[in-house]
Amino acid sequence: ARRAAEAVAGLAEGGADAPRATAALAGDLIDLREALSRAPVAVSEAPSSAPAAAAQARGEKSIRVLASTLASIGRQVELLSLAEARRARRARDVFGHAASVREALHALDEAGRALSGAGVEAGRAELTQASIRLREVAAELARVAREAAREAEQQRLAGAVLREDLRALRMVPAALVLEPLRRAVRDVAGRLGKEVELTVDGGDARLDRQIVDALRDPLLHLVRNAVDHGIEAPAARRSAGKPAAGRVAVRVEARGSRVAIIVEDDGPGLDVAGLRAAAVRQGVLTAEQADRLTDPEAARLVFHAGLSTARAVTEISGRGVGMDVVLETLARLGGTVDVRWEAGRGTRFDLEVPLTLSASAALVFRVGRDVIALPAEAIEHVVLVAPGDLGTVAGRTTARIAGEHVPYVPLARLLRMPESAGPPARQRVALVLMHGGARVAVGVDELVGQQELVISSLGARVAAVQHLAGAGVLDDGRVVGVLSAAELVRRAQPGTAPGRGEGARRVVVADDSLTTRSAMKALLEMAGYAVIPAADGEEALQILRESGADLVVSDVQMPRLDGFALTRKVKADPRLRRTPVVLVTSLEAAEDRAAGLAAGADGYLVKREVERGQLLDLVRQLLPHA
């Protein structure tokens, strides 16, 4: 394993040692294969699957590998992907330099002939020698370019084999995440006095271990909600002409390079009217906005943080926490979630995720002066739109694409960037995106190309920038933002619900208690604010200095930097001193309150006042236009 890691590092560095590293890696893979063939069979703790059973039937051996080791190798292979692209780019650059030298040589020959025609003999010998030397340099550059291209191709092939082998190592049966759902269904059904049958299909499908681990909580939320909200009580089912036992089905379906996990029940379907009423009651939408929503748009309110249609808060329902976790997890994985229902017949949630989280193809394009990327799998079509293809339908700009009118919005307008000045181009480049059953075309200025990108998370400090899914490094070393197709489609839709979108006010919540921090985050997000959590005052101050915020809600007793010190630093900073600070603490003595106000806090609440709703009242007073 150590030699293989060194060989991968050699490939990533490139240069003259790359072919030697390729050969060494091939030898190490052969040695590893022989070692695996001699290794004893390990007892697996995972549920049995058809692929595993087939492998045992063929007499193949297996060994245990630490997940951390696979993760480390995965990171190195992702770096190798970047090195491959850079090496191929360098080869193209050398070809370009060789062509430039040939052009210079041609110009030099023309100058020599012109001098000869004019009868000028002085310097002709030197000119001839320079031409000979340039021809030698051009030939050498061409040779180096061919070798560089050949080595880049060898590295690409070795990297492709390595990525496929690593992908196979990381794949585990979907049963690992599906089988534990049976106990969750039994427990919830038993508490509610319901009869529920769970059927699971497709457990033999294999997914990336990281994706399987990330899907545990979302699937648990979905099946618990299916039993609680989706399945009626036995008496109600019998009166509706249904069997007393409800049915919840979970199945996995392969969809090319992606996989779908479908959760459906045979209950009464989504209560869309109840979702609209809950959104109005809890301040998520106004009554007018709720009425303007179509049924599919209203159905997606089920994913809004803090929104619940439950009449009472119990251990299972009513807290408004859960379905937003599903949406956020799927977005983080580069997946999508869609909801469909049929009145009286049931509800279906369709989750779609990539098979693996390794480097993926991305389309790179330019908007104004900025270069941006989108995952290629999120783009349905790339088309050229002429001015005659643009029109309006129901007051919205649309583009006629393949005989269909698709909503059209310039990407610069969606991202609130300056739009290109000057006369409109004869044809515009448009990317057709599909998400959650909605389809839109976004206009960009220029296509740069397609590249393999390793998409990295941007961390908690920019979590409120909803349109960014991460960042990647191009083969020329430039860092580009990678957009979230789901957020772009959401912004392009009419009647988009307010909340954590582009118009939300930013609030930093600092508390070293995860439970308290999450509770205040859910409360503020339910009211339509974009919340950026921080684990202590030091992290909150760094967020404020790097990206700013409209308001700070902070605990007092925190490690590194407490609430009083944070308030003093915020009020002493010329750029931040106008930012309101609300201190929330269990310290309710008069001297503690006086100390907080003396530090410059704009509000001081004890935690029982937060529970009575006074935090939201105070935030709305301090941000009157939110």
For the record, the structure tokens of 248 come out as: 């919840």
> Considering the chain, what is the average pLDDT of its residues?
76
Can you tell me the distance from the alpha carbon of 132 to that of 140, in angstroms, rounded to the nearest whole number? Answer: 12
| Ranges 114-123, 288-297, 319-328: which has the least confidence | 319-328
List of domains in the chain: 2-170 (no CATH), 174-354 (3.30.565.10), 360-492 (2.40.50.180), 506-622 (3.40.50.2300)
- Distance of alpha carbon 9 from alpha carbon 541, whole angstroms: 38
Q: Would you state the pLDDT for residue 265?
A: 92
Instruction: Give pLDDT tens digits for 153-193.
Output: 887 787 777 777 777 777 888 888 888 899 989 998 888 88
Give the residue ranges of DSSP H helices in 548-606.
563-572, 590-598
Query: What pLDDT digit, counting tens, does each position of 190-236 carry?
Result: 888 898 999 999 888 888 888 888 888 889 888 988 888 888 889 89
* Residue that the structure tokens 């491959």 belong to: 84
Q: Is 454 helix (H, G, I), strand (E, B) or coil?
A: coil
pLDDT digits (tens, 9 = 90+) for 475-509: 777 888 888 887 788 777 654 443 344 446 788 99
* pTM (two decimals): 0.53
Q: For residues 478 and 449, is the Cβ–Cβ distance under 8 A?
A: no
Secondary element (H or E) of residue 82? helix 67-117
pLDDT at 363 over 70: yes
